[in-house]
Amino acid sequence: MWDPTPDKDAAAAVGEVLRSIGYDEAAIEDRLGEDGISAEGSEALAYAVRLEADELGEAIRLLLLSRPVPSSSFAAAEELLRLGLATEDGSLLVPRARIVPTEDVYLTFDTFSSGASDPPGWVASFTPTAYWLASLTLRRHVERALDIGTGNGVHALLAARHADHVVATDVNPRALAFTQISAALNGMTNIETRLGSLFEPVAGETFGLITCNAPYVISPKARWQYRDGGLPGDELSRIVVTNAAAHLEEDGFASVMVSWLAASEDEPDERVREWLAGNGCDAWILAVDGSDPLDHAAGWNDHLASDPAAFAEALEEWTAYFAQLGAGWISEGGVVMHRRPGDSHVIRAIDVDEDELEFASDQLERAFRALAEVARDGDGVLDRTLRLVEETRFDQELDRTGGVMSTTLVLDEGTCSTWELSTETAAVLVALDGASTLEQAVARVARREELSKREAAELRQEAHDLALELVEVGVLDLL
Ligand SMILES: C[S@@+](CC[C@H](N)C(=O)[O-])C[C@H]1O[C@@H](n2cnc3c(N)ncnc32)[C@H](O)[C@@H]1O
């Protein structure tokens, strides 16, 4: 397997050429449409055929779609060869890696996956789990940030925009070479790479931000470094969660993508709650995906689907492994932790739909400020004046006579969560105008709707439970 050469001057020169020709997300969308940037396989081939052969078109063909182009068409061809990201075949430049503009930075990583034959140290692109983690990371200034299992370096690069210094670690030297090249492509000089397992390279150090998209797939196999942690059950995830908390500075945030086991779907988060208990952090648990052992095995063995015998054998082996672990449910998702002083901390499970998740930094900032207040005052926080945050709206469905069939509260950012509401509860939230407490809002609605005492008490309870949840999710501001 080839290794990238982290020649910083060569990478800086490639980055300069890419910026000068306007190789960015908007230009790619302009040429290929919205889905072009994530095209793979035959789709990528079709896009490559369609592209104009000007300087930008050839760069997209070479670096995004991974097709050979004439060496003369790319001004930094020599530097690309020096980095090892391409080889030469006669007059053609043949890509070995891709460079893709992602969230306004250039990232480099191995070319398209060939499925089961990818080598163990293969370095993946900006994957869905990487997107989830980027979405669930707080973007405030910190002095020191840490990214564990950095892979192509994406979270280190995104952190480098709001951290003075970033430490990026991995057990895979190829990943660290890609990270160094990515940093230099973007002219970033504040990323330090360290080789080693999990938190070993940062023993005794603390950070204001920690990110980790762990190789968290729970499986009987340790086939690929980027996904298989190689430890039994969910042990790797436990190590990541407990050590992330231990390596946080006061007021620091950690966001990690992990997975955890449960006996059944009924109480899916018990183990993460145990890992979090007494660790000095308020926390959110966000199960992005949950499945039983068979679905889990089928999903992660998709690369074997064209070989029915191998696929069936893998399903058998994996489900036997989960049976042996006593696990009937596997969750994959994020854990966000905020370290702060005090003995009492709040852990909140958040429903999230993977297709809806957007960048949640502002929501996290609000929610964790509120969690600290809930830890101190309990539901006494609801005696304060409250107001729905600006990024919310109500959606209503009406029948043909204009009668309200359903009302939904929608958060328009971050987790993009939704809540189905009764008409009265919606009216209470509307009445939280920034000058009223929950009690006052409930009383006003009960009066206006002429509710009986029992109905008013029911509304008070319903509104109380919902309001506390909305506070803890960063949707209702405590004034
Ligand atoms: C799921 S990938 C995430 C890569 C990148 N951070 C991202 O989000 O796209 C997991 C990464 O962890 C690395 N890794 C695997 N085992 C590790 C270990 N014990 N310690 C540190 N990193 C490890 C892999 O090499 C891989 O780069």
pLDDT for res 225: 67
pLDDT for res 96: 96
383 vs 171: CA distance, rounded Å:
51
pLDDT confidence tier of residue 186, bands split at 50, 70 and 90: very high
pLDDT for res 41: 83
The yes-or-no verdict on residue 224 having pLDDT over 80 is no
Probe residue for ligand 1, chosen from 109, 137, 225, 237 as the CB with the greatest number of ligand atoms within 8 Å: 225
Strand order in the sheet with 207-213: 191-195, 163-170, 142-148, 207-213, 248-262, 329-339, 281-291, 347-349
Cα of 185 vs centre of ligand 1, distance in Å, is 21
Share of the chain above pLDDT 90, in %: 90
pLDDT for res 396: 96
61 vs 178: CA distance, rounded Å:
20
Mean local confidence (pLDDT), 262-276? 96
Give the mean pLDDT of the chain.
95
Q: Which of 214, 123, 117 is nearest to 174 (CA)?
A: 123
Mean local confidence (pLDDT), 303-309? 89
For the packed helices 453-472 and 423-431, what is the interaxial angle rounded to 10 degrees?
60
Mean local confidence (pLDDT), 394-402? 96
Q: Whose CA is nearest to atom 12 of ligand 1?
A: 149
Q: Which of 113, 102, 39 is nearest to 49 (CA)?
A: 39
Taking only the tens place, the pLDDT of each residue in 43-64 is 999 999 989 999 999 999 999 9
Taking only the tens place, the pLDDT of each residue in 321-357 is 999 999 999 999 999 999 999 999 999 999 899 999 9
Q: Whose CA is nearest to atom 14 of ligand 1?
A: 149
**Which pair of tokens denotes residue 59?**
């760069």
The yes-or-no verdict on residue 251 having pLDDT over 70 is yes
Considering only the top CATH level, what class is 106-357?
alpha beta
How many Cα atoms are found within 13 Å in the side-chain-facing hemisphere of 56? 14
Tell me if 248 sits within 8 A of 337, measured CB to CB: yes
pLDDT for res 431: 94
pLDDT for res 223: 72
pLDDT for res 5: 98
Tell me the pTM: 0.95
Cα of 136 vs centre of ligand 1, distance in Å, is 18
136 vs 116: CA distance, rounded Å:
30
Taking only the tens place, the pLDDT of each residue in 280-298 is 999 999 999 999 999 999 9
Probe residue for ligand 1, chosen from 118, 133, 150, 223 as the CB with the greatest number of ligand atoms within 8 Å: 150
Locus of tokens 């090249």: 181
Q: Whose CA is nearest to atom 6 of ligand 1?
A: 150
CATH 2.60.40 is the classification of domain 380-478: no
**Which pair of tokens denotes residue 195?**
């080789």
Amino acid identity, position 362:
D
Beta bridge partners of 260: 331
Question: What are the boundaries of each domain within the chain?
Answer: 8-95, 106-357, 380-478
